[in-house]
Amino acid sequence: MSFLISSGGLIITIGDLLEILFATGNRNKVEEAVQALKPRGITVKHFPFEHNEIRSDSLEEIAREAVGVAYLKCRKPVFVEDSGLFIDSLGGFPGAYSAWTLSKLGLAGILRLLHGVEGRSARFEACVAYHDGTQVSVFKGVCKGAISIEPRGSSGFGYDPIFVPEGRSQTFAENITLKNKLSHRYISLLEFSKSFVSGS
């Protein structure tokens, strides 16, 4: 038997694998988390979760509230992840409302907003909030980049076809391997995994 120590206490695991629930309604996010955390001995299980998030510009505030609700429902170690695309020339729009905005305007709407605008810099931000049964810990990831002129590629989801990470030429949707190594979500999950100290 091995164990991992989280910031909040001791978690006993069987066969070197720690199992943590990921509360989300987005299966794409689950897939990304599975890929990111498996090499680090953490098994991610999907906890289907639909929740009316609070209205806030802060991903951390949203994630902290959501994981509290998720924990009350599953009563097991659980994390949530909230992320957003922040476009500098639009004052950080769509930010914490990225998923909702995309559902209304589509990628075409975002591109129309940037039509003729010189500055296309943007960043993806992610915030993982983990509830270990006693306390909530938060882990952040940022990926800087720019908005492309038109959508390119078919991998990933959400804004991936129009986001080009800094120093690269392909969008996340054109190069999913790149996304899985550079993305805001990957970085926040990596930070999250580092919070566990393995022992035996």
Catalytic annotation, residues: 82
Using the minimum distance from each CB to a copy of itself, give the nearer residue, 93 or 157: 93
118: contact with a copy of itself by CB under 8 A: no
Using the minimum distance from each CB to a copy of itself, give the nearer residue, 34 or 105: 105
- Choices 86-94, 131-139, 146-154, 177-185; region in contact with a copy of itself by CB under 8 A: 86-94
How far apart, in whole angstroms, are the C-alpha atoms of residue 126 and residue 120? 20
**Which are the contacts of 96, defined by CB distance < 8 A and separation ≥ 6?**
56, 57, 58, 59, 62, 82, 84
How far apart, in whole angstroms, are the C-alpha atoms of residue 14 and residue 125? 33
Instruction: Write down the H helix ranges in 89-195.
Output: 98-113, 176-182, 184-194
Which tokens hold the place of 77? Answer: 């170690």
Using the minimum distance from each CB to a copy of itself, give the nearer residue, 100 or 135: 100
How far apart, in whole angstroms, are the C-alpha atoms of residue 193 and residue 7? 11
92: contact with a copy of itself by CB under 8 A: yes
- Choices 105-113, 127-135, 156-164, 190-198; region in contact with a copy of itself by CB under 8 A: 105-113
Q: What angle do CA 137, 140, 141 make, to 5 degrees?
A: 155
Using the minimum distance from each CB to a copy of itself, give the nearer residue, 123 or 179: 123
104: contact with a copy of itself by CB under 8 A: yes
190: contact with a copy of itself by CB under 8 A: no
User: Where along the sequence are the contacts to a copy of itself (CB under 8 A)?
Assistant: 52-56, 90-95, 97, 100-101, 103-105, 109, 112-113, 115
